[in-house]
Amino acid sequence: MPPTLYAMPDSSFDRFGQTPPISPVVISVPHAGREYPPELVTALRVPLSAVMTLEDRRIDAVAIAARRDETMIVQTRARAWIDLNRSEMERDPRVDEGADPTAQPKPSAKLRSGLGLVPRRASAASDLWRRRFTDADIVRRIEQAYRPYHAAVGDALAAAHARFGIAVLLDVHSMPPLSASGNGGNPPPRVVIGDRFGRSTAPRFVARLQAEAEDARLPVAINAPYAGGHILERHGRPSTGIHALQLEFDRSLYLDRQFDGLGTGFDRVVHLLKAMLAALGDEAQATPRLAAAE
């Protein structure tokens, strides 16, 4: 059966799945968007290829192929437009005229490094934009792209929780290959699971994902170097039975050598993600009455 896809003509994301939900698991794919609005392109002072490095390149193809019956929200607008994994407060004064420095007395490390709500840099490229954007520019992006995405994720989790007494969000990303340096001579992780150091989910869900990665004979790390961002912070409420995890796949696992198109490892990663989703669903429904007490 083909996936059920809901998308409004002017929406910045696609929603897959049925209502009411069939699974307690919800999938989020916030960084794979490849839509670049004309006003973004004309504002660039670097080639478009430079900002494309911000994408979790084609991880949406992996998620769509792996999805079974879970509700899934996939952002289609490019991350360079607005980053859904940042707080609304992480507005960078160097690119945003409406940014209020007093809103974040201690700016986050991501914001300081140029990866705020609207990115200032991408990979080796810095100073992406010809000009600063007006407050109205950014507020429009927040209202039209950022808040609707988070509302869709929140609604999906609430619906899953209402039906199953528990909900689990899997926020799917990809990462550049990690260096072996500083890893004690061991192979670098090729899968990273984040739970904000135990704050966004019960440990049993992390353990299930870790076991699947190890069964696939892939080096796996927990919270290093990616512990999860705003999406987990915003939506993960394990004390109420709503759990959230971030999952990062090494892009070399599923992309070609140019890190552009899908590679020969695509099917392997799809199989692994499918197994992980099944494991989360199994774990969620194994002990639903205990979820709110964790």
The pLDDT score that the predictor gives to residue 125 is: 74
pLDDT at 69 over 60: yes
CA–CA dist 230, 156 (Å, integer): 17
Which one is predicted more confidently, 280 or 186? 280
Residue 294: pLDDT band by 50, 70, 90 thresholds? Answer: very low
Contacts of 149 (CB under 8 A, 6+ apart): 12, 13, 30, 73, 75, 84
How open is the CA angle 67-75-139, to the nearest 5 degrees?
A: 155
73, β-bridge pairs: 15, 28
The pLDDT score that the predictor gives to residue 183 is: 66
Average pLDDT over residues 9-26: 92
The pLDDT score that the predictor gives to residue 178 is: 95
Return mean pLDDT, the chain: 92
Cα–Cα distance list, 242 to 25, 71, 164 (Å): 10, 15, 11
Write out the DSSP string of 227-271.
---HHHHHH-BGGGTEEEEEEEEEGGGTB-TTSSSB-TTHHHHHH
Residue 211: pLDDT band by 50, 70, 90 thresholds? Answer: very high
Residue 245: pLDDT band by 50, 70, 90 thresholds? Answer: very high
pLDDT at 198 over 70: yes
pLDDT digits (tens, 9 = 90+) for 223-240: 999 999 999 999 999 999
Work out the angle between the directed axes of helices 203-215 and 266-286 (0-180°, nearest 10).
150
- Whether this model's pTM surpasses 0.75: yes
* The residue type at 94: R
CA–CA dist 294, 282 (Å, integer): 17
Residues in the chain: 294
Closest CA to 269 of 226, 213, 220, 230: 213
- Structural domains of the chain, ranges and CATH numbers in brackets: 5-287 (3.40.630.40)
pLDDT digits (tens, 9 = 90+) for 22-55: 999 999 999 999 999 999 999 999 999 999 999 9
pLDDT at 75 over 70: yes
96, β-bridge pairs: 133
Coil/strand/helix, residue 274: helix
Largest separation between any pair of C-alpha atoms in the chain: 54
Please tell me which of 6-20, 96-110, 139-153, 279-293 the model is most confident about, judged by mean pLDDT: 139-153
Cα–Cα distance list, 64 to 60, 61, 170 (Å): 6, 5, 13
